[in-house]
Structure 1
Amino acid sequence: MIMNFSKLDGKEVYSENFLLGYHTWRILVYPKGVTVGYLSIFLDAAVVNLPFGWSKFANFKLTLINQVNGKKTIIRETTKQFNAKETAWGFPKFISLDELCDSRSGFIVNDNCIVEVEILVSKSKQDNQTYQPVSKIDDTHDQPNKHKETFTTSLSELVDLGKIEQTFLPLLEEVCSRHPLLINSQQKRSSRFVEWAFTALGRVLHFLKTKKVKDMDNDACNHLKILWEELETFKFDLTWLEPHVQSALSMKTLTERAVKVKRLGENVDALEMKTKRLKAEMIEAEMNLAIARKELVKAKEGFQECYLEAKLGYGIP
């Protein structure tokens, strides 16, 4: 997660290092791009002084998470034979900065941006025919005598799908294909535990998929909190899902603010109309006043005032 994205000065940003296939890797991001106007994302072999002859072949996916609409998440895949001279590879034009920074796009939420990497790694390109996702294997190319453990690679191999609510299955299969660690984390659990775990995950996914912004009242928020707390007990890696849940929980506040903004907007519109009407009345009154003054001046011309209360008198000069 890249926090305070808008405040970055444009220099490169690195993820924490992680060990994979007996080598250290990291994600490298240029917030302002190595190509002007684009976000640039790379996989980096991280270690500066690599020994002569070192190489690793990797097939990897770099993912920019859309925190509002998962269907708009951007995934780019490539392969590279990393060596001591070429330690970074990826996409200089991953996404335009205009689209990335558009508040409506969903890629930056609360000034946070999320980038993921999934890697299949082997010593050479030929070995790539047999390797599995790195989160599931021990690299036997570097240690030939080490036992290589076999893991299931799909949800159907791990759990009896007939015991999970059918409306959850498409959602579970989609996220498991994107996040294979969901399956890996449950490999050594009992079948009943795995069934409960993926049912809990399915409930949260189904909630997020079917609820609309207008539905997020107090009851809905409390229900989602209960589902999320239950899901957290199963020890999945949920860093990819948490932003979606937090976004949904914030909808009630946002909705209330939207209603308040609408009400205040209507009030402003009414006052503006009233102000226009009063201004028009004032202009009319000023015109009437000007006319009345002119009539008064005209009426006074050649007129000599007299004191009406005085006595008229007679016969006296």
Structure 2
Amino acid sequence: MENQKKIVESFDTFKWTIKDLSKLNTNKIYSQDFSLGGHSWRILVYPKGNNVDYLSIYLDAGNLPVGHSRFTKFKLVLINQVNDKMTKIKETHHMFNAKHNDWGFTSFIPLAAFYDRSKGFIVNDTCIIEAKISGNPKLEKKVYIPVSVKVPSKPIEHDDNPLSLDISAVSIDELVDFRGLGKIEKTFVPLLHEVCAKHPSVIECQRKRSRRFREWAFTALGRVLHFLKTKKVSDMNEEACDHLQILWEELETFRFDLTSWLEPHVQFALGMKNYMERSAKVKSAMENVAALEMEMKKLKAMVDAVEVDIEMARRELVKVEEGFEERDLDGELGYGL
């Protein structure tokens, strides 16, 4: 049995104090640049929400060179200045690159709760937000490679991770052996067993690589499989599509043969954003037609009712006209001469 040491992960912290919050007249604001983990960052906040009724908070990597990436695990924190137990903390990870240079939480906390002075997130018109960047020495070692660069076909015998996949951040209790190839997150293992049973080449193409490399490769594959297994068509908004695209680009560097069986599913999922947008337009148009048809029925009913009234009015006219002789109303009455 292998010796396993529990990895204690540390985070470096930057604190941003936003004063005069009620006087801000902008949709989004950036913090000053700060350096953590050897890289420059900013915090991006939408104080009125990023098209939602929630405070939106993101970590921004600035202008990364085209073709370079930076995998980072981080936390975003909204400090409760009255009760620290009510402080909101959200954690995630992201592969930052020139195209996807910010990542975080569109729905961090409802705006109603954030601006409620009794909740403690705003005191004296001031709020405090923290960014915590993973400071684990194993995670700080990052290698930047162009997206177009392919992973070499010969085995890699060193421990440098070409994509800095954050496997070491996973608790030991959440890792299980996958067919003797390495320790993989247990959530991914059933999915990997399923696809490897149908496509043995998935395993064969990785057997000659180092154990560390295999763990990175099958973790990347597991992430894509887990995404496709847990997402529904209705979930595929722009943010979800961007996330899947990043996961797919990471996976492609490990030289799996996925063209015939997995890539079509990924491309189908990525196409769901356009489908959802088109579906929303079709639904809106159908609702508009239905509303107009309902209005037309109401108008037709009103016309039918008016036609009945007209017919009754005509009959009444015929009745009262009988024996009636029209006179010249402008003629003199006279007095018989």
Tell me the TM-score normalized by structure 2. 0.45
Determine which structure has greater relative contact order: mean sequence separation of CA pairs < 8 Å that are 6+ residues apart, divided by chain length.
Answer: 2
The structure whose Rg is larger is 1
Tell me the TM-score normalized by structure 1. 0.48
